[in-house]
Structure 1
Amino acid sequence: MAPLRAVAALALVTAFAAGCTRGSEAGSAATVSDSKAGCPAVLAKAKAAVKAAEDVNAAWDGPTTGPKAATGKTIVYVAQSMTNPGVAGAAEGVKEAAKAIGWKMRIIDGQGTPAGIQAALSQAVAVKPDGIVLSGFDPKSTAQQVAQANAAGIPLIGWHAVDAPGPSTDPKLFSNVTTKVQDVAKISADWVISQSNGRAGVVVFTDASIPFAKGKSDLIEKELAVCSDVKVLTTSNIPIADASSRTPQEVSALLSRFGTKWTNSVAINDLYFADAAPSLRASGKQGNGAPFNIGAGDGDPSAFQRINSKQFQTATVPEPLSEQGWQIVDEFNRAFAGKPASGYVAPAHITTADNSGGKSTWDPKGYREAYRKLWGK
């Protein structure tokens, strides 16, 4: 969920299940014990799903048909905040794709405040572009401006603007580009089950004040529960706005409360793990050891840095930001041609130090060539 990225990091947690012995290296964590987990069938499915999600060479599975490039179009990208890594990353993708298709593109920064976002969208509507991107904010917070754009016949495309991908009727969006929260939640839980070999003690970090975030953590816990030897030790509810101040104390308390039972953590957003590091270090934890942490969404550059340096985050489920930027441009091209939205949703991917290639973003292969071919460019 993009707005979460703009806010400071939160915390980590992980769990340990009775009867398991882990090495200190994250790479050795998969072989935890010779004893069988209590969910062999679930474990086998989780391992298969994780293996598929970690594939960096998967073939492009996006749209293969669509209208040729419209000419002379101008789109405006209204950003929740360009300091938000997800919003900024998607903007770069749109910029690159707009250049490839031959359109003009302008960015207006809402600077992270309700008033700023409303003003930015008002400005965007006023310049009468061919299309407007609503990036990283709830369109209902700009209902007046959205209504004006709708009335003017300006197609709106969201990036993480509403919960679900695809077209939206309320608010009226031609399409919303995002991964499916259900897919992200499931693969995050599958990773914990797989990484722990079906025996884990898990802390789940969420912000219950945000319905989307609470819904994601509920889905994660539901999926973890299908393995009888994976236990959710606790759900840590830390409001995003309070993350930097509350996370260090919360992590210290969790370590005191659960000790080695805490082997894994799942957070609704990567940034939660940034503030956990000091408390983990102070307790003698190693950056590449338990608790083993996965961020269920986003994959901003700081998360990649922690993962690549093996510092208190082992994995993330990143958004393919540049690819989504190209998809936004393709969706506009379909709107301009009077065609329906593509319906494409990027599959959930897992990044670890073993498959990141040392990079700071997840950038799948094949989409640039595929979209250029669609557009005749």
Structure 2
Amino acid sequence: MHHHREAVPGVVRARSFPLALLLAASLLAGCERGSADGPGTSATGPSGCPAADARARAAVTRAEKTDVPWNGPTAGPAAVPGKTLVYVAQTMTNPGVAGVAEGVREAAGVIGWKVRVIDGEGTPAGIQAALSEAVALKPSGIVIGGFDPNATSQQVARATAARIPLIGWHAVASPGPSANPRLFTNVTTNVGEVAAISAQWVIARSHGHAGVVLFTDASIPFAKHKSELIKRGLAACPGVRLLAYENIPIPDASGRTPREVSFLLSRFGTRWSHSVAINDLYFADAAPAFRAAGEEGSGPPFNIGAGDGDPSAFQRINSRQYQAATVPEPLSLQGWQILDEFNRAFSGRPASGYVAPVHVSTADNSEGATTWDPSGYREAYRRIWHK
């Protein structure tokens, strides 16, 4: 059966459910799949959380600004010649991981280094084998691309013993250097800010009345931490209810997400008004199920990705096809930053400490772009490296 939803922001309509389904939903409340309680009783009246709503609207307005000047490093060591890097990817099917790898390649061409990418293919064994191969190659440095170094502790120990510096991308929860696991630095936006603005976007978009499904990959500590912070942010508004907390590993997303979305649509109906995912790719995989159910591409549910802002996410947003917003990582910039951080490591300098600002991209502010990057970083890094 096809369900038609009126695509009015923040409007959540009730629907009758069989008694057995309601009883089953109540029994599931509080488990990992989330509470089955619906959103507030009225989405057309006053905000479900006036103070939190006001804060959310102000934060989202700031984050949607596009005229963001370069606020990263403008000084540092000149390029050290003749270096080689290995980029070990959690899986190149993860658009964020692949996007950063492309940024690393681009920057390596500018600085004059060689880069090899090894795909861990999304499995623990594959990632361990990929990092083992990387260490055996004896490169100048290794990138931990989107996976937990603690899951490869033996390989990390071998790299450390061989004095091969490691730099992570989304490898640990916080940006900057890490003592355990030992990373020269970890390149990422601030996960707390990303999680907060994602939750605030839902609160502001719904005027404090929403039923939310949250998609995560609990096998990746970084992603699990992000989703827990999103849950905390949503809880700031009593009118926002977490309907389900869906744990779908990224390597399994293409197979599992369509089935889960179909189930959630039948379970929650129009109570499901908004979604947040720790990675945009979930909405690429969800789109066929939404389409098959007769859902409008412009929503509801109104979907926001809390990373990574790959081109396909922008295409869905710009065409209003089952995604309304993303909190993008500046993937190309972060690839360039990784090169700069390695250059600092090779030069005996500390990490730069730079953290890219949080941003929200929508169809209204992306102007048809398929990526997000602050301006000026390429010129700044070129000036640093080629004094």
Q: Name the TM tier (shorter chain).
A: 0.7 to 0.9
Percent identity for Structure 1 against Structure 2: 70
1:286-329, Cα deviation, whole Å (9 max, x unpaired): 11021101111212232222212211111111211110011101
Q: How far apart are 1:201 and its partner, in Å?
A: 2.1
Q: Which residue of 1 aligns with 2:106?
A: 96
8 Å contact kept, 2:147–2:220: no
Question: Are the structure 2 counterparts of residues 209 and 141 from structure 1 closer, same or farther at C-alpha, using a change threshold of 3 Å?
Answer: closer
Matches within 5 A, 1:270-285: 270-285=280-295
Q: Which residue of 1 aligns with 2:159?
A: 149
Higher deviation after alignment, 87-96 or 60-69: 60-69
Which whole-Å CA distance do the structure 1 matches of 2:124 and 2:246 have between them?
A: 28
Q: Which residue of 2 aligns with 1:4?
A: none
Which of 255, 258, 270 is the matching residue for 1:260?
Answer: 270
Which whole-Å CA distance do the structure 1 matches of 2:123 and 2:268 have between them?
A: 39
8 Å contact kept, 1:17–1:262: no
8 Å contact kept, 1:292–1:314: yes
Q: Which amino acid aligns with 1:334?
A: R
TM-score after normalising by structure 2: 0.82
Which whole-Å CA distance do the structure 2 matches of 1:109 and 1:259 have between them?
A: 39
Q: Which amino acid aligns with 1:127?
A: L
Consecutive unaligned residues of structure 1, counting only runs of 5 or more, are: 1-14, 22-34
Q: Which residue of 2 aligns with 1:192?
A: 202
Which whole-Å CA distance do the structure 1 matches of 2:310 and 2:188 have between them?
A: 15
Q: Does 1:302 align with 2:292?
A: no
1:65-121, Cα deviation, whole Å (9 max, x unpaired): 322222232222223333432222111211221222232333333344444433433
Question: Are the structure 2 counterparts of residues 283 and 116 from structure 1 closer, same or farther at C-alpha, using a change threshold of 3 Å?
Answer: closer
Q: How far apart are 1:241 and its partner, in Å?
A: 5.3
8 Å contact kept, 2:85–2:140: yes
Q: Which residue of 1 aligns with 2:150?
A: 140
TM-score after normalising by structure 1: 0.84
RMSD (CA atoms): 2.5
Q: How far apart are 1:211 and its partner, in Å?
A: 4.2
Q: How far apart are 1:375 and its partner, in Å?
A: 2.3
Q: Which residue of 2 aligns with 1:229?
A: 239
Q: Which residue of 2 aligns with 1:44?
A: 54
Q: Which residue of 2 aligns with 1:29?
A: none
Which of 90, 95, 116 is the matching residue for 1:80?
Answer: 90
Matched residues, number: 351
Q: Which residue of 1 aligns with 2:386?
A: 376
The structure, 1 or 2, with the larger RCO (C-alpha pairs under 8 Å, 6+ apart) is 1
8 Å contact kept, 1:16–1:264: no
Higher deviation after alignment, 54-63 or 358-367: 358-367
Q: Does 1:19 align with 2:29?
A: no
Secondary structure, aligned partner of 2:261:
helix
Q: How far apart are 1:239 and its partner, in Å?
A: 4.8
